[in-house]
A and B are shown apart, each in its own frame.
Chain A
Amino acid sequence: MATSLSPSYFIFLSAALFAIGAYGVIAKKNIIAVLVSIEMMLAAVNINLVAFNKFFTPEAFIGQVFAIFVITVAAVEIGLGLALAIALIRKRGTTNLDDFDWLKW
């Protein structure tokens, strides 16, 4: 195993992935793209969990277990999210998030 990798590489990768995902959630207008961005943020979290597990508590697998949980929950969430997206497209005929502002006053 290569020894030159320090934890900061993983943290930077994770942070970059999370930031890209967050940007996507906030800036993308397409509802599918927003869902994909949310998946990216979850992936960033998973990298973090595994990396911290490897470097700080190598004797236990807590972080990896949590990563499995997150993947499971993400699968459920994406299923639900896609169902909502399809329902919205059927009802409104659009995927543009700017059209969905019914919550305002």
Chain B
Amino acid sequence: MVEYALNHAWLVPLLPVLSFVLIVFLTRPLKMKRLSSFIAVAAMFGSFVIATAIAIGVFSNHEFIEKSMTYSIRWFGMEGLNINVGVMLDPTSAMMIFMVTMVATLIFIYSTGYMKGDPRYSTFFAYLSLFGGSMLGLVISSNLLQMFVFWELVGLCSYLLIGFYNYKVSAREAAKKAFITTRVGDFGLLLGMLFLQIKFGTLELAELAEVVPMFESLGVSAGMLTLMVVLLFLGPIAKSGQFPLNVWLPDAMEGPTPVSALIHAATMVVAGVYLVGRILFLFVQVPTAMTVVAFIGAFTAIFAAIIAITQREIKRILAYSTVSQLGYMMLALGVGSLAASMFHMWTHAFFKALMFLAAGSVLHALHDKADVWEMGGLIKKMPITGWTFVIGGLAIAGIPPFAGFWSKDEILLVTWEWAQHGHAIGYLLFAFAAITAFLTAFYIWRLIFLAFFGEENPENHPHESPLNMTIPLIILAVMATVSGLVGTPWANVWGEWIHYGEVHHADPSYILMLMSVVLGLAGIGLAYVLYHKDANRVWVKEFARKYPALYNLSYRKFYVDEFYAWFTKIFVDGTAKVAYWFDIYIVDGIVNGLAALTRGSGGALRYIQTGKLQTYALVFFLAVLVISVVLTLGKADTIALLGGVR
């Protein structure tokens, strides 16, 4: 079974894609809604079973740490270009497919409850299946071009799903925004891949990992390599919602909540982090690029956390939280720790999926009322949703033994060590990360105290969600609690399996642990004081009233959207205006001018055409006369012929 799964890993993405095909061509036209969702869940569960077998196979054989298992077939090629499609299994990809299939299966099951009664129920499951399949294909790709194809498919599916409620203008706008913003980065990614192919002659990940370290002997200058790396990094910046291309991610919550959970936890956004992790061998050749990655990550983390503090919509808070946590993952990659980054991705997938699904459960109960200020006391009516959300909140705030504590602690640790190894900027990044840890605890518990505790809002009539929605919540809550235990500092199984370069053996740093716990507790405590003890939230309202500049800066997301709108207005519209002017006056001018010239000269010349035969005859005779004179003038024999008469 395990052996079979290892050799047929391509079944993992294939099953959901088959389910997509089945739903689109069979059950959707036949309006068999229940069968559609059943096929989707069954296919994803099948993938989960295979992925589990693969994970068992990979994690029971220590040879996989050093050498990945790759098999591929030729896709197309010509002289000097050979593109394969294949499967690359190593601990990182095995962990990813296990995590993605598990979270996706739970989200699919949840969706059967959440989307009940939707007129486009079958379509929704078709898109979800394709989304999951594309992500899984991306994860096991052995070739960058193959990865890029799936990367774009993921982008397409996110577009379709974010805009699923296509009768809503905001959903349509958000879908376009997501697609266009990520395309900006994809352009860089594609250019970077072209450079790689031209300079190194291959896009196979395994081959690249071998040839890139000796780039100088291949005639690639360091500047060229830096350019490639920066171009390649543009893709992950856009896909993983890093500053300054983070604008699409919070808007992506316009889609149905299971989609948000899928995008934010298991697919799409982690694709960017995963890609950087996959080609980390490129980044480590260029220390500047690593610093850039680390800085962008840390900056995004604190930037999004500050925005999340003042947001009012429950899913928007979670969305900015995702941006912030992705910043953590990028930071970890930037300081060269694949282990910490992937570890945080792993734990984050569970607690973020959990919180999104719980938020969806709340929205379901409150009929899409999303403002946390209008909730309150929900935990009494919705105990399962409420308490699982609290577990997610503890996990993201970094309270031991919940999952987020271990991974966040690991990131803080590697950042600190990086700083101590002569990177002065590392101390700044560490400060960013530490402050973000505090802010994270604060904004999530602000949400929890506002929505789940305190006075009940008499306008709301919440009820607990059905079993097919609460059971995924419970499973995810369990995972959010225990999934971090594989990477504790005392027995870091995780770091042993998934790492880049030397195995990293850091001694557990109790000061750091204490610090992150204190920061987390301080955040929770501050949220408790401001939003729970102060039942009417007088102080925070007073603060927002007194310092509107600070409040608005955070609430309006540092005006990044406004900046883009302004930029578009000035530069894009401006260029369009110049082009319009050029078209109207220069291009059309030339064409119309030619036409007018022909017309005008024709109009002038027609007066010659009198219609009088005698005029024509006169012209004709005069012409003959002129021609005769010209031809005969000065010719001696002609004159002799005329008898010498002059």
State the Cβ distance, B611 to closest chain A Cβ, in Å. 3
CB within 8 Å of A: which residues of B?
A: 606, 609-614, 617-618, 621, 642-643, 645
CB within 8 Å of B: which residues of A?
A: 6-8, 11, 22, 25-27, 34, 97-98, 100-105
Contacts of B609 in A (CB 8 A): 103-105
In whole angstroms, what is the CA distance A34 to B618 when docked?
A: 13
In whole angstroms, what is the CA distance A22 to B613 when docked?
A: 13
Contacts of A34 in B (CB 8 A): 614
In whole angstroms, what is the CA distance A34 to B612 when docked?
A: 13
| B611/A8 in contact, CB under 8 A | no
Contacts of A98 in B (CB 8 A): 612
Cross-interface CB contact of B614 among A11, A27, A102, A105, cutoff 8 Å: A27
| B643/A8 in contact, CB under 8 A | yes
Which chain A residue shows the least CB distance to B620?
A26
Question: Which 9 pairs, one residue from A and one from B, show the smallest C-beta to C-beta distance?
Answer: A104-B611, A101-B611, A8-B643, A103-B611, A26-B618, A101-B612, A105-B606, A104-B609, A26-B614
State the Cβ distance, B642 to closest chain A Cβ, in Å. 7
| B617/A97 in contact, CB under 8 A | no
Contacts of A105 in B (CB 8 A): 606, 609, 611
| B614/A97 in contact, CB under 8 A | yes
Contacts of B643 in A (CB 8 A): 6-8, 11
State the Cβ distance, A25 to closest chain B Cβ, in Å. 6
| B611/A102 in contact, CB under 8 A | yes
State the Cβ distance, A41 to closest chain B Cβ, in Å. 10
Which chain B residue shows the least CB distance to A12?
B645
In whole angstroms, what is the CA distance A43 to B621 when docked?
A: 18
| B611/A26 in contact, CB under 8 A | no
| A97/B612 in contact, CB under 8 A | yes
Contacts of A7 in B (CB 8 A): 643
Instruction: List 16 A-B residue pairs with CB atoms under 8 Å apart, sorted by A's residue number.
Output: A6-B643, A11-B642, A22-B621, A25-B614, A26-B614, A26-B617, A26-B618, A26-B621, A34-B614, A97-B613, A98-B612, A100-B612, A101-B610, A102-B611, A104-B612, A105-B609
Which chain B residue shows the least CB distance to A11?
B642
State the Cβ distance, A13 to closest chain B Cβ, in Å. 13
State the Cβ distance, B626 to closest chain A Cβ, in Å. 14
Contacts of B613 in A (CB 8 A): 97, 100, 103
In whole angstroms, what is the CA distance A41 to B613 when docked?
A: 17
Which chain A residue shows the least CB distance to B606?
A105
